């Protein structure tokens, strides 16, 4: 009887760790976000934020992260812009990108590689990828960063996961998420990369 009780406590403990880990991660995210002016910025830096878009809450639920949008810095005529996804892929002035996020807060990370130059013209005007699929000529924010780093810099920032890997604990059964997935043609076995996966990449470091 005692052995069974100990085993039950161990199982419960493991379940609690699995459930609690995302909340600990989210707490770290909240504590490391900043509103400080961006002073040291280079091409190739990645800026993360909590978007105020309509789909941001769904991304939060699906990925269990407060980080729901990201873009990569492009230096143009000596000024910083962010290559990002809106309805199409665009260049947005860095300051405008930052103030558009929740509370004007952001996370700023940089690759270990120096002297990066990104060929961005071929991305401009590409449509936003509502279906979150690879290789369809469309892009969502973290897919864009993943693609730029992989195909131009030879760096794989993270390993793609299946949608099923993200939507644990039955979150895919939440009516709003279920309706959105069906409408966009998103399947549980397709691969994707979330903003928080790029954020947690070992290839990126915080910019102080």
On whether the CB atoms of residues 198 and 146 are closer than 8 A, the answer is yes
Q: What is the mean pLDDT of residues 200-204?
A: 96
Mean pLDDT of the chain: 85
In this structure, is residue 127 part of a structural domain? yes
**Domain contains 79:** yes
Q: Which two tokens stand for residue 142?
A: 């973290």
Give me the pLDDT at residue 168, please: 60
User: Considering the domain boundaries, does residue 16 fall inside one?
Assistant: no
Residue with more model confidence, 16 or 22: 22
Task: Write the DSSP symbol of residue 177.
Answer: H
Q: 181 lies in which domain range?
A: 40-206
- 107/33 Cα distance (integer angstroms): 5
Confidence band, pLDDT 50/70/90 cuts, at residue 176: confident
Please check the confidence at residue 38 and state whether its pLDDT lies above 90: no
**Residue with structure tokens 């789909």?**
55
For β-strands 79-85 and 89-93, DSSP reports them as antiparallel
Please, are residues 21 and 94 in contact by the beta-carbon 8 Å criterion?
no
Report which of residues 181 and 48 the model is more confident about: 48
Looking up residue 156, the CATH number of its domain turns out to be 3.90.1720.10
Whether 45 shows a pLDDT value over 90: the answer reads yes
pTM of the shown model: 0.84
| pLDDT at 17 exceeding the cut of 50 | no
Positive/negative CA dihedral, 125, 146, 134, 101: negative
61 confidence band (pLDDT: 50, 70, 90): confident
d(CA 33, CA 47): 11
* Rounded distance between C-alpha atoms, residue 127 and residue 184, angstroms: 14
The reply to whether 26 falls in a domain is: no
CB 154 within 8 A of CB 147: no
In a domain, 32, yes or no: no
Q: How far apart are CA 25 and CA 46, in angstroms?
A: 19
Residue 179 confidence class, pLDDT cut points 50, 70, 90: confident
The answer to the question of residue 6 being in a domain is no
The confidence score (pLDDT) of residue 172 equals 63
Residue 35 lies in a domain: no
Question: Residue 20 domain-assigned?
Answer: no
Contacts of 124 (CB under 8 A, 6+ apart): 88, 89, 90, 91
- pLDDT score recorded for residue 79: 96
Mean pLDDT of 111-138: 94
Position with higher pLDDT, 89 vs 135: 89
State how many domains the chain has. Answer: 1
Report how far residue 134's alpha carbon sits from residue 193's, in angstroms, rounded to the nearest whole number: 10
Cα distances (angstroms) measured from residue 83 to each of 3, 38, 45, 91: 57, 16, 11, 5
């Amino acid at each position: 009887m005692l052995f069974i009780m100990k085993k039950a406590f161990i199982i419960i403990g493991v379940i609690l760790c699995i459930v609690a880990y995302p909340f600990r991660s989210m707490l770290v995210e909240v504590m490391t976000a900043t509103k400080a002016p961006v002073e040291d910025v280079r091409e190739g830096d990645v800026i993360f934020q909590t978007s105020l878009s309509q789909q941001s809450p769904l991304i939060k639920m699906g990925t269990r992260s407060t980080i729901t949008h990201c873009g990569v810095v492009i230096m143009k005529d000596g000024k910083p812009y962010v290559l990002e996804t809106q309805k199409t892929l665009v260049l947005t002035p860095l300051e405008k990108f930052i103030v558009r996020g929740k509370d004007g807060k952001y996370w700023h990370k940089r690759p270990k590689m120096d002297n990066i130059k990104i060929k961005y013209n071929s991305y401009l005007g590409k449509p936003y990828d509502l279906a979150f699929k690879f290789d369809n000529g469309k892009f969502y924010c973290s897919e864009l960063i993943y693609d730029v780093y992989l195909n131009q810099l030879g760096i794989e920032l993270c390993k793609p996961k299946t949608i099923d890997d993200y939507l644990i604990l039955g979150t895919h059964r939440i009516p709003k998420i279920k309706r959105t997935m069906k409408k966009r043609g998103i399947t549980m076995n397709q691969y994707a990369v979330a903003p928080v996966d790029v954020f947690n990449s070992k290839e990126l470091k915080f910019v102080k």
